[in-house]
Structure 1
Amino acid sequence: MISSTLLSVATLAGAALAAVDCTGVNAIAPGCASQESLHYRDFFYIGGRYVAGAAGNLTYDQVYVEKLTPASGVNQSHPVVLYHGGGTSGVTWLNTPDNRKGFASHLLDYGYQVYIVDQTSVGRGSSENLNDYVMRIGSTAEITEKGFTAPELTNAYPQSQEHTQWPGTGVRGDPIFDAFESTFIPLTSNLTVQELSMRSAGCQLLSLIGPSFLVSHSIGALHPLLLSNDCPQLVAGNINLEPGNIPFQSYVGNATSSVGRTSARPWGMTNTYVTYEPAISSSSELTYELVGDDTPANRSCYMQTGTIHKLTEIAKVKYVALTGSASPHITYEHCVIDFLQQAGVAAEWIKLADKGITGNGHFGYLEKNSPQIAGVVHDWIQANC
């Protein structure tokens, strides 16, 4: 028989665990339970090359890949490969900053084999190549607040007032915000060399695991597009959460004003060569102009003029973009869709509000209704297998 003293001790211990503050980084405490799905984890480095240096041969341009296998077994026909956005790393798919179930876990629950990629030069994707990967800041607290977690406070575009799904206040000092901001790390400003390494290693990865659905966020959408060009037979479909590769331009700091725009991606949606028809040997052969009235709610876009060159290889892969109703991207994501469609790609645009999923900013897959967003991704994959 268990004594009343032991029962009292057990009760007190249970109460102490229940009282543990598991907000933000506090969840590292032993008394805080994980919300993630049970899985097996392996990691690999794909690609890379030896480069002779004064100290000996160094490995350049290898890509970190983490393999997650649901403990209950894989029951989906194609793997899913996750590509993170700029300023963060592949860990962004593993947890949410308020310690709810991460996006990778939602996909594991659906029975997918999940692969998480770190971009070369970023996070675990860092290599010995210190010459080419010139680094810059990932994000400041101010950029994060204005563009990602609390755009409603700045009110740079009318849709920002619909933002309701970020967990917490979204400003510096809130433990959830601070946990999120801590995930930002330096990234390279040399996107050309990064693209070349990512497209080489990416096709090597897909040749090892078979045709896969590629899920990207923000500027991470560069890489699935390049793989669609280089090895389209290995890409089952491209699912882009708020793609950040707007044609021929970049919004600095996720800004929505004309002041925040700079020239970018001379090949349209990439910094490096992609196949066009009629064929071109230089990006300077593409002609384009800014079209549409430019307002805070609906930005103007660059579109091809004169001879319209088609993205014949990229067009072989199904493409969809998902956009939150309160994100800055809702003001300019049409530029991505319009450019791709003009170039012969049957690009699809899913506005999450049309699915009854509202209030999302740019990092919707981390926000309170992320399970519903994962459901849209799953449904699209099932419809396009």
Structure 2
Amino acid sequence: MRYPTVVSALSLASAVSAHVVPPAAADASVDCTGVNAISPKCQSSEAKYFRDVFYVGGRPVPSGGGNILADQVYVEKLTPSCGVRQPHPLVFFHGGANSAVTWLNTPDNRKGFTSYFLEKGYMVYLVDQIATGRSAQQDTTDFALANGTTVEVVQGGFTAPELAATYPQAALHTQWPGSGQLGDPIFEAFAHATVPYTTSLVAGENAMRASICSMLSMIGASYLVSHSSGAQYPILVSNDCPELVAGNINLEHSTQPFWNYGTTLDSGSAARPWGLANTPLNYEPPVSDPSELKVEVVGEDTLALRSCHLQAEPARKLPKIASVPYLCTTGEASVHATYDHCVIEFLKQAGGNPDWIKLADVGVHGNGHFGHLEKNNMDIAAVVEGWIKKQDAKKRKL
């Protein structure tokens, strides 16, 4: 299979560490809470690395004054200063209304996911989704934007769901640093990082699936690590270039088959007509139009455990996607505890053998949807690394 080869690159710092020792040491009189840590007197807890940035993919689009470049995706390449010691890179995909900065330091300035894996010797790539952050697009016809999200949605859905629980598990939420409410500097550091995102789902998926396969063809087989709605892109890449995906790792996948859930029973809306995506997937037997997929609702719908929209049996298979090792992790107190099982069941129907780790089952408790930013985020990173190590061991035996 051939992948698009149009790549523009801009190397900003091929041999400069992105971690700089502050000119003055922090002391007890300096407030380094939230955004206050921008002060040069506040020390960073992040790992040392070398940083390069690139734009991958893209295509010329005619305009009134000539051709503009569109569909290119911003990627940061982070090389651990301690040296690369692991066989496969990690490529990180953020969720909706976020950017790749979600993988760096946490809102309360603790070590982020990126640092954990850099210190373990992994090459890390951070991607801004198409039409988001530094992957902004000039073509607003193809890429309409929605506001990032409201303060109320951030508080009720992510940082303090326990205060007005719309599902029973929310009462277990204990791991957000700070109050999770407006006025708390940690909350505001997180809320300020929300950004507009594209509502042009088909255009976005088409651009990402071309650009990421192009990138992987240059860097080699990689583990794709995603959060929330970012999980749709590794699914598409697993469909298009599965030989370049060492594993598909999802922190609370938001690719619920055929449906987006509302906060009350009997609410929600149809979504992802191709099952896990808005654009075509390679089913067997083949599907030329998503209307050929027969869907049924399975299970009793409760706020603690939602019913699933699955294929009616006999289900069509997704052999390419099923060939890629798959992991989902789910937080004990997240709304995803109520419906992540639907993606797992869909993948099993499609011929896959997905792994699902409920974090509470391995002793990691109290997490909401943004577990990678919460107080025990390093415990979650260790769970992910453990799964990667198992996959690498299996590959060595082959």
TM-score (norm 1): 0.94
TM-score (norm 2): 0.91
SS in 2 for 1:185: coil
SS in 1 for 2:247: strand
The equivalent residue for 1:159 is 169
- In 2, the alpha carbon distance for the partners of 1:260 and 1:54 equals 45
- In 2, the alpha carbon distance for the partners of 1:221 and 1:310 equals 19
Distance 1:277-1:31 versus aligned 2 partners, 3 A rule: same
| Aligned residue type for 2:345 | D
- 5 Å-filtered alignment, 1:57-96, equals 57-96=67-106
Kept in 1, the 8 Å contact 2:25–2:42? The answer is no
- In 2, the alpha carbon distance for the partners of 1:360 and 1:133 equals 33
**Which residue, out of 315, 324, 327, partners 2:322?**
315
The equivalent residue for 2:254 is 244
Distance 1:16-1:347 versus aligned 2 partners, 3 A rule: closer
Distance 1:147-1:16 versus aligned 2 partners, 3 A rule: closer
- In 1, the alpha carbon distance for the partners of 2:26 and 2:147 equals 40
**Which residue, out of 352, 355, 362, partners 2:369?**
362
- Tell which structure's C-alpha radius of gyration is larger: 1
How big is the shift at 1:306? 4.2
| Cα offsets for 1:145-191 (capped at 9, x unmatched) | 11111110111111111100000001111100011000111111111
**Which residue, out of 315, 335, 338, partners 1:331?**
338
| Cα offsets for 1:271-309 (capped at 9, x unmatched) | 000000111111110011111111111001101114310
Distance 1:306-1:16 versus aligned 2 partners, 3 A rule: closer
- In 1, the alpha carbon distance for the partners of 2:263 and 2:121 equals 38
- In 2, the alpha carbon distance for the partners of 1:310 and 1:143 equals 36
The equivalent residue for 2:302 is 295
The equivalent residue for 1:187 is 197
| Cα offsets for 1:95-150 (capped at 9, x unmatched) | 10000011111110111000000001000011222211011112111111111111
| Cα offsets for 1:18-73 (capped at 9, x unmatched) | 31100011000110001100100100000001111012211100010000011010
How big is the shift at 1:194? 0.3
Stretches of structure 1 lacking an aligned partner (at least 5 in a row): 1-12
- In 1, the alpha carbon distance for the partners of 2:78 and 2:26 equals 33
SS in 2 for 1:294: coil
Kept in 2, the 8 Å contact 1:63–1:125? The answer is yes
- In 1, the alpha carbon distance for the partners of 2:40 and 2:267 equals 44
- 5 Å-filtered alignment, 1:1-385, equals 17-251=27-261, 255-258=262-265, 260-385=267-392
CA RMSD of aligned residues (A): 1.3
| Aligned residue type for 1:102 | G
SS in 2 for 1:166: coil
Distance 1:93-1:14 versus aligned 2 partners, 3 A rule: closer
- In 1, the alpha carbon distance for the partners of 2:165 and 2:26 equals 43
Structure 1 stretches of 4+ with a deviation exceeding 6 A read: 13-16
| Aligned residue type for 2:70 | Y
Q: Which has the higher helix share?
A: 1
The equivalent residue for 2:9 is none
| Aligned residue type for 1:334 | H
- In 1, the alpha carbon distance for the partners of 2:368 and 2:45 equals 23
What is the aligned residue count?
Answer: 370
Kept in 2, the 8 Å contact 1:256–1:328? The answer is no
Stretches of structure 2 lacking an aligned partner (at least 5 in a row): 1-22, 393-398
| Cα offsets for 1:313-360 (capped at 9, x unmatched) | 101101110000000000110001011111111111100011100000
Kept in 1, the 8 Å contact 2:74–2:127? The answer is yes
Percent identity for Structure 1 against Structure 2: 56
- In 2, the alpha carbon distance for the partners of 1:367 and 1:311 equals 34
The equivalent residue for 1:7 is none
Kept in 1, the 8 Å contact 2:137–2:143? The answer is no
Kept in 1, the 8 Å contact 2:26–2:42? The answer is no
